[in-house]
Structure 1
Amino acid sequence: MVNLRNTAVSEQDPYRPPICAIAPDLRSRMEKAADEIVEIANELAGANRNVVSALLDPETPFYEWQHYPKGDVFDPLTHAQFYYHSHNGEWEEHGHFHTFLRAGGMPETATPVPHEGDDKQDWPEGSDALSHLIAFSIDHHGLPARLFTTNRWVTGETFYPAEDVIAMLDRFDMNVAGPYEMTGRWLSSMCLLFRPQIEALLRERDETVAARAKIYAPTGKDIYEDRALEVTSACEISIMDQLQWLGLLDE
């Protein structure tokens, strides 16, 4: 069985509410997601793989600073999408997953935030619109170590308010056959298992952008294109820590 521990179990997590504050239905779905994540990790470990190596063709060289797979993974039924961005060995993380939902899967009420500035860029719109949901940093053991959100320019997304993005989270459901199936299922389950932290990070993202926008306003520049603002919120995570918080390690 794979060892899922990647950080010490923390006593407090400012991005997580008291367990009693989690709605029963959400908690039940989080627990099912936890079972799925453990099942996938064990199945991949049995083949000496993890959610990153499962994306790679063993016959193809692995390059640093590349997106995998080429062209991303897209579910045409749910309009969920993801890719993996690799780093080099000098970085603390091996790389990270970016997750998205495209326009066809969004709630009809989702509306991009207004933006302006001398360097204003055109955003994807209509059927081309896409929202970045959350990024998962992966350590060199293939385990998730951090969640983070980004400014618009990082992924070229269409920027939606946090509450709209939160409403999209349940719609991120990767059901793709073939070599990307396991990683897609894992990401879908991770978005659910860490739902409380993701919601908190998305709201903090908007607070970060709003605070920076006040400083940026006199310059006449578009805050969403500010290269000095890349990561807008982040927190460390541990699957073992989350399982303990849910009481799943006591059974």
Structure 2
Amino acid sequence: MSTLVLHLWRWQQCEQVLRLRYPKHGVLGALGISRATHRSLRDEQLHFPELDLKSKNDKSLCFFHRHDAKQVEAGHFHFFQHHQPEDVHLLALALNWHGWPHRLFSVNRWVTGETWMPATQTWQHFKKWRIRTERRWVDAWRVCEHMDRSTQDLPLVGLWLESLLACLEPQIKACLRARDRNLADWIDRKPGVNLLEDQSLEVLSEQSICWTETAGIVDR
């Protein structure tokens, strides 16, 4: 079994468990988000989960929020990896209202107040991003068997995200490279301007995700 197929299989397993519980919204349901309740939400300070999703050693974290989202999008995850003096913002992942991955995008430094790194270094930090509490991969169904129902959702979200990001490695790298190319172009157009703090530049690159085609590899 290839590495990609393994990650796809793991993601599908997590997706199956979440869809059994939350048929309409999948992973969004595990975060307590529904279109009926949160469609008009615009408070970017409101995070899901409330205290963010963190690794046991607090070196990796993410949160989901919604603000000025495209109509088709429910909101997006921001991913961070610990670094000094400030954490590294890796990328953002937008989901549609069905809980499906919709696009990846990068943001300017002023948005997140991060330690800025070029694409190659950012990717090295991305490879370290881990949310699960166990050293080895834990089967999604085993999470359901060995944990109380009230505490299962967030570990399942972590497994869902880890396996998904592993599947999206080519798209992630492409989005980071596009970010650096676009920033270099803007530097040529605006000499002398600190573009990383230029609030007219928020989203630096984006990469669409055709996830249904990718996931189909597992079934072939």
TM-score clears 0.5: yes
The equivalent position to 1:194 in structure 2, one of 168, 179, 186, is 168
Contact persistence 2:28–2:99 (CA under 8 A): yes
Structure 1 Cα separation of the partners of residues 108 and 186 of structure 2:
11
Structure 2 Cα separation of the partners of residues 197 and 81 of structure 1:
20
Structure 1 Cα separation of the partners of residues 122 and 14 of structure 2:
26
Superposed displacement of residue 149, structure 1: 1.1
Is 1:101 aligned with 2:81? Answer: yes
The within-5 A match list for 1:6-25 is none
Is the alpha carbon distance of 1:39 and 1:72 closer, same or farther for their aligned partners in structure 2, counting shifts above 3 Å?
A: same
The equivalent position to 2:154 in structure 1, one of 162, 180, 185, is 180
Structure 2 Cα separation of the partners of residues 210 and 42 of structure 1:
42
Structure 2 residue aligned with 1:217:
191
TM-score (norm 2): 0.79
Contact persistence 2:56–2:131 (CA under 8 A): no
Structure 1 Cα separation of the partners of residues 183 and 66 of structure 2:
26
Structure 2 residue aligned with 1:3:
none
Structure 1 residue aligned with 2:138:
none
- 3-state SS, counterpart of residue 98 of structure 2: coil
Superposed displacement of residue 51, structure 1: 1.2
Superposed displacement of residue 87, structure 1: 4.0
Q: Percent identity?
A: 28
User: Residue 82 of structure 2 aligns to which amino acid in structure 1?
Assistant: R
Superposed displacement of residue 57, structure 1: 8.3
Structure 2 Cα separation of the partners of residues 52 and 202 of structure 1:
25
More helix by share: 2
The equivalent position to 2:93 in structure 1, one of 130, 136, 147, is 136
Is 1:158 aligned with 2:115? Answer: yes
Superposed displacement of residue 97, structure 1: 0.7
Is the alpha carbon distance of 1:57 and 1:190 closer, same or farther for their aligned partners in structure 2, counting shifts above 3 Å?
A: closer
TM-score (norm 1): 0.70
Structure 2 residue aligned with 1:231:
203
Unpaired segments of 5 or more residues in structure 1? 1-26, 104-124
Structure 1 Cα separation of the partners of residues 177 and 169 of structure 2:
12
Contact persistence 2:9–2:218 (CA under 8 A): no
Structure 1 Cα separation of the partners of residues 42 and 157 of structure 2:
19
Superposed displacement of residue 89, structure 1: 8.1
TM-superposition CA deviations, 1:6-27 (whole Å, max 9, x none): xxxxxxxxxxxxxxxxxxxxx9
User: Residue 159 of structure 1 aligns to which amino acid in structure 2?
Assistant: W
The alignment covers a number of residue pairs equal to 195
